[in-house]
Amino acid sequence: MSSSITVSLIFFLLSLSSTSSLPFKRSGYVQNACSVTHYQKLCVQSLAPFSSVAKNSPSKWARAGVSVAISDNKDVLRSLLKMRRSAFGKRDRVALSDCRELLQDSLDNLHKSLAVLRTFRAGEFQEQMSDLATWLSTALTDKDTCLDGFEKTSAKSAMVRMIRRRVTTSMYMSSISLALLNKLAADGL
């Protein structure tokens, strides 16, 4: 084999290996970011699309986590608002109404969090982190309280089971956001 063919073959193989490692790098970014969460599989599935932008930036991962939590919270709230109250018993209706209110409060706290994450100021980092931790913790607690409201309702109802499942997943997304925020707090800007 001539040396020019050997060199060409080496460059070709190197170009293949560098392009094939790109998805691995992106997957490595999200795996690393999600390693601090309790729900790593859900985190990786939900945040993988942000890998090429967030890379190794804790602040970008925190923003991505809150953005996904907002989207999920909106979807759950929208589905709860569409449910007919007549399909529920009295106790279920009360729990549904409370849950809607709690999810709206959760959404408000997530929006406040995203606004701060988009406008960090180095001189106010600790104060902003404290506010963010409070808001994200409250968003998480709101969803947990919503689930508590359905504990004494008709657990056999398919609608109630669906609500519990959707709110639980949304609660996990808020937990992921809080874990990513804690990573940002530990790593700094």
Tracing tokens 């599989």 back to the chain, one arrives at 41
Superfamily of the domain at 28-187: Invertase/pectin methylesterase inhibitor family protein (1.20.140.40)
Q: What integer pLDDT is reported at residue 157 of this predicted model?
A: 78
Nearest to 26 by CA among 34, 16, 15: 34
CA 103 distance to own-chain centroid: 15
Please work out, in degrees rounded to the nearest 5, the angle formed at the alpha carbon of residue 26 by the alpha carbons of 21 and 32.
120
Encode 56-82: b = buried (16+ Cβ within 10 Å), e = exposed. Answer: ebbbbbbbbbbbbbbebbeebbeebee
CA distance 157 to 184: 41
Over residues 44-58, the pLDDT tens digits come to: 999 999 999 999 999
Give the other-Cβ count within 10 Å of 139's Cβ.
32
pLDDT in tens, 60-95: 999 999 999 999 999 999 999 888 766 677 888 889
Q: What is the pTM of this model?
A: 0.83
Q: Where are the domains of the chain?
A: 28-187
- Contact 122/167 with Cβ under 8 angstroms? no
Closest CA to 174 of 146, 141, 150, 148: 141
Kind and range of the H or E element at 117? helix 90-118
Question: Tens of pLDDT along 120-163?
Answer: 888 899 999 999 999 999 999 999 999 999 887 766 678 888 99
> Over the Cα atoms of the chain, what is R_g?
22
